[in-house]
Amino acid sequence: MEIIEYGSPAILELSISDADAIRDASASWKLNLKLKKDPFSLSKLSHDKYGFRAIGVAGFIRVGRINLEIAPKFLNNESTGPGWRTAMWRFLAYGRGVESIGQASGHFQNGTGIADILADMFLSSLKGASIRGYPLGYKPIRCDSFFAKGVLDPRKYSKLLPATGKVGVISTQLTNDIAPNQLLKWAGLELARSVESSERRKKLNLWLSDLAGVSHIPPPSEMVKFSCRQYPHLTQAMNIARLLYEDRVVGYGKGELNLPGFLWDSDDLFERAVRRLFSEASRPLGFSVSKERYPLADSVDTSMITIPDVDLKLGGRTVFLADAKYKLLGKNPKNEDFYQVLAGGRVKGVSKVSLVYPKSGSGISSKLYKPKGVGNPSEVIVVQIGLESFSTRNDIRRLRADMTSWIIKTIQLPEQKIAPLPAN
């Protein structure tokens, strides 16, 4: 069932244990994603019917035999059409700063689930692995050997006498049971549990036999050392595995009920995407982009700070600030959003600041506001970015070029030759 983030409540038929599991999940994701509010709202309508709403999150979860797909407010079947899932995954990858997740290779109907789209991308990336192989590495092993290779195993000192002809040693062994492959196997198992298509489940389970001797327990992320140059055919699958792992929610639920899920905080993701877009669009112009804390006001016993989402610098000096707002823009911005960006601009003494909002569709649009009074900022520009611009590599390239032109025009830099950037 597809549910739109911030949309009208969907009517679900749930058992008491399923309803309790969703409430537990809401509490867990609120903690994991550091949200201010519960991401799920569940209201009882009758003895087995509930109204379900998703607030500020997108992704998918499974409750028993029910698959719930939570589409982003600005990327869903109503606004984007049947290709919304691929656009959503590209936007997710872009906001996370990973290499762009490619198009799924299969042919999908409108009802194809998010997990199936992701599984197809994952399997497509692994097609070359049977020929090009998987990463190999050395790991320590303990064994009894006729030869004293490696170092003696302290645990086996007591067995040196009487002589048996073997000694306990610790040595290294070349193996594919290493962190990158363990992460891939874990991700394959998670997708196999989540897909709706039995055909894709069979393909995933068949692929898992390629890593038969590899542990399915995911390693800590800091242990996963992966070379895109050495194993380019695995890059997309590894990106997907990392995304799944980063948003992984450890098992919860009651009894035998299992509630796997993959969710992200839409506010945080949009902020990351906006900052990356500004960074890539402004880098050829000599700018740098950061996010920093600045003192806003002081009193005897405390101080207040402001943290603009985008701090555009030229030669180490802030020349422009922007705040990303993942919300539907009405005729005008909310007063509190306007005050926030004005405060940051006043602290840094910049003449122009911006509020950035998402919108359905593609491209960039903007509207200029002139604050009353004297002093800086003297202009507030409201910018809307169409999230469908993340649907393809060419669309992302065009969006980045449009943002570069917008920066030149807004900050009134002279036109200059722009260095090309790699496609995402």
- Tokens representing 155? 């645990």
Please give the C-alpha separations between residue 68 and each of 32, 83, 227, 255, in angstroms, as whole numbers. Answer: 19, 18, 35, 21
DSSP string, 361-379: SSSEEEEEE--SSSSS--E
Closest of 33, 42, 49, 39 to residue 6, by C-alpha: 39
Q: What is the dihedral of CA 217, 120, 397, 312, to 10 degrees?
A: -30
**Site of tokens 């900052």:** 275
The more confidently predicted of residues 405 and 423 is 405
Q: Say which range, 78-87, 247-256, 352-361, has the weakest mean pLDDT.
A: 247-256
Classify each residue of 135-156 as buried b or exposed e, where b means 16 or more C-beta atoms within 10 Å of its C-beta.
beeeeeeeeeeeeeebeebeeb
- Residue 159's pLDDT band, with cuts at 50, 70 and 90, is low
Asked whether the predicted pLDDT for residue 72 surpasses 50, the reply is: yes
For the chain, the average pLDDT equals: 81
- Residue 164's pLDDT band, with cuts at 50, 70 and 90, is low
The more confidently predicted of residues 289 and 147 is 289
Length of the chain (residues): 424
Under 8 Å between Cβ of 90 and 395:
no
pTM, 2 dp: 0.76
2-4, strands of its sheet edge to edge: 2-4, 66-71, 57-63, 261-265
Res 364: pLDDT: 95
- Residue 398's pLDDT band, with cuts at 50, 70 and 90, is very high
Asked whether the predicted pLDDT for residue 261 surpasses 50, the reply is: yes
- Whole-number Å distance between alpha carbons of 239 and 92: 11
- Whole-number Å distance between alpha carbons of 396 and 91: 10
Res 262: pLDDT: 76
Classify each residue of 310-334 as buried b or exposed e, where b means 16 or more C-beta atoms within 10 Å of its C-beta.
bbbbeeeebbbbbbbbbbebeeebe
Backbone angles phi, psi at 238, to 5 degrees: -70, -40
Asked whether the predicted pLDDT for residue 324 surpasses 70, the reply is: yes
Percent of the chain with pLDDT over 70: 79
The yes or no reply on domain 267-410 and CATH 3.40.1350 is yes
Q: Say which range, 25-39, 160-174, 192-206, 319-333, has the weakest mean pLDDT.
A: 160-174
DSSP category for residue 73: T
Q: What is the pLDDT of residues 40-54, one digit of tens each?
A: 999 999 888 999 999
Asked whether the predicted pLDDT for residue 191 surpasses 60, the reply is: yes
Res 155: pLDDT: 65
Asked whether the predicted pLDDT for residue 322 surpasses 70, the reply is: yes
Question: Per mean pLDDT, which of 31-35, 110-114, 329-333, 401-405 is the most reliable?
Answer: 401-405
Asked whether the predicted pLDDT for residue 101 surpasses 70, the reply is: no
Asked whether the predicted pLDDT for residue 108 surpasses 60, the reply is: no
The more confidently predicted of residues 255 and 194 is 194
Q: 3-state SS string over 100-113?
A: CCCCCCCCCCCCCC
- Residue 419's pLDDT band, with cuts at 50, 70 and 90, is very low
Q: What is the pLDDT of residues 276-316, one digit of tens each?
A: 999 999 999 999 999 999 988 888 788 889 999 999 999 88
Res 386: pLDDT: 92
Q: Say which range, 28-32, 46-50, 341-345, has the weakest mean pLDDT.
A: 28-32
Q: What is the pLDDT of residues 198-245, one digit of tens each?
A: 888 999 999 888 888 888 887 776 667 766 667 777 888 888 888 777
Q: Which amino acid is located at 154 in the chain?
A: P
Three-class secondary structure of residue 225 per DSSP: coil
Res 165: pLDDT: 59
Break the chain into its structural domains and give their ranges: 1-73, 137-175, 267-410
Range 93-115 average pLDDT:
65
- Tokens representing 363? 């491209």
